[in-house]
């Protein structure tokens, strides 16, 4: 996330298609330029009157399997990878049209969305870019999980995961999130799941679109994907990717250092509520 003075949008309209990882439904996605102060909005073109919903934490209705936003009786599911891409590439304003209720999973990472936006190009706008600037630490800790944010000169994330599995164990990834770092070190990390969990989800009508094409699948002792991992620590890099997407729902870019331990979508969302309850710990301002 670059520290830009002005807001940014995509320079032209771009499209892609894919399958929803949970719904198994085909979906067409279009990303369009949007005016200043528009933010990121998702538009359901398959519904009457094409209703839209802003990508804000107050619109989150479910975090059990993915980040789901909802409003007025409709939802848009699994938005975190595209939201991470917008945040990682410093895109403030965009209209996202889709013709189903779940985003396409693509290859399980944010790399296809990153390529799409790089293809579109970026247009700098006239309006100033506002930031949340963290002045004092904010922390949330519960049941061995924690998220904190601390004053910093840039946007940073340190993410630690720990799984009782020989191929994962404890992993930590830490970086200042620039566009280059996002593109080279984070965006291509894929979502992962354990074989027994995926089989269980499929029994109950979830993960209908999940496959080795879009999920890193792990059994008791091996990676089942023929091509293996993209990074030795791809698991924690993907959790970092998810977190960038989740925290983008704050609504403004952040200048601060997030430190996460064993967190996920639900706990990240709980932290955002804590963040907004501690208004004395941050301020909103431009960089001019």
265 is catalytic: yes
Rounded CA-CA distance 63/266 in Å is 5
Which positions ≥6 away from 273 have C-beta within 8 Å?
57
DSSP string, 24-71: --EEEEEEEE--TT--EEEEETTSTT--EEE--GGGEEE-SSS-EEEE
Place of tokens 């995961």: 161
Stated as kind and residue range, the H or E segment containing 134 is strand 131-134
Block residue for tokens 């959790």 = 239
- Catalytic residue, chosen from 81, 257, 265, 269, is 265
Rounded CA separation 207/170 (Å): 26
- Give the residue numbers marked as catalytic: 265
């Amino acid at each position: 996330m670059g520290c830009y003075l002005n807001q940014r949008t995509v320079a032209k309209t771009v499209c892609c298609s894919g399958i929803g990882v949970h719904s198994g439904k085909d979906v067409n996605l279009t990303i369009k330029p949007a005016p200043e102060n528009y933010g990121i909005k998702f538009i359901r073109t398959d519904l009457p009157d094409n209703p839209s919903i802003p990508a804000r934490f107050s619109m989150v209705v479910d975090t059990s399997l993915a980040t789901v936003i909802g409003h007025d009786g409709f939802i848009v599911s699994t938005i975190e990878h595209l939201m991470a891409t917008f945040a990682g590439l410093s895109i403030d304003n965009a209209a996202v049209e889709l013709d189903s209720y779940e985003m396409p999973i693509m290859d399980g990472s944010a790399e296809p969305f990153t390529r799409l936006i790089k293809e579109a190009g970026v247009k700098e706008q006239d309006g100033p870019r506002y930031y949340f600037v963290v002045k004092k630490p904010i922390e949330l800790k519960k049941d061995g999980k924690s998220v904190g944010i601390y004053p910093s000169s840039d946007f940073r994330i340190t993410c630690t995961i720990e799984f009782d599995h020989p191929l994962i164990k404890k992993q930590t990834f830490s970086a200042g999130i620039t566009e280059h770092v996002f593109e080279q070190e984070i965006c291509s990390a894929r979502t992962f799941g354990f074989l027994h969990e995926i089989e269980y989800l499929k029994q109950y009508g979830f993960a209908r679109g999940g496959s080795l094409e879009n999920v890193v699948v792990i059994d008791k002792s091996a990676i089942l994907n023929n091509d293996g991992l993209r990074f030795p620590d791809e698991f924690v890099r993907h959790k970092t990717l998810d977190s960038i997407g989740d925290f983008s729902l704050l609504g403004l870019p952040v200048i601060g250092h997030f430190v996460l331990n064993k967190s996920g979508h639900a706990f990240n969302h709980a932290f955002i509520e804590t963040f907004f309850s501690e208004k004395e710990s941050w301020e909103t301002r431009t960089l001019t």
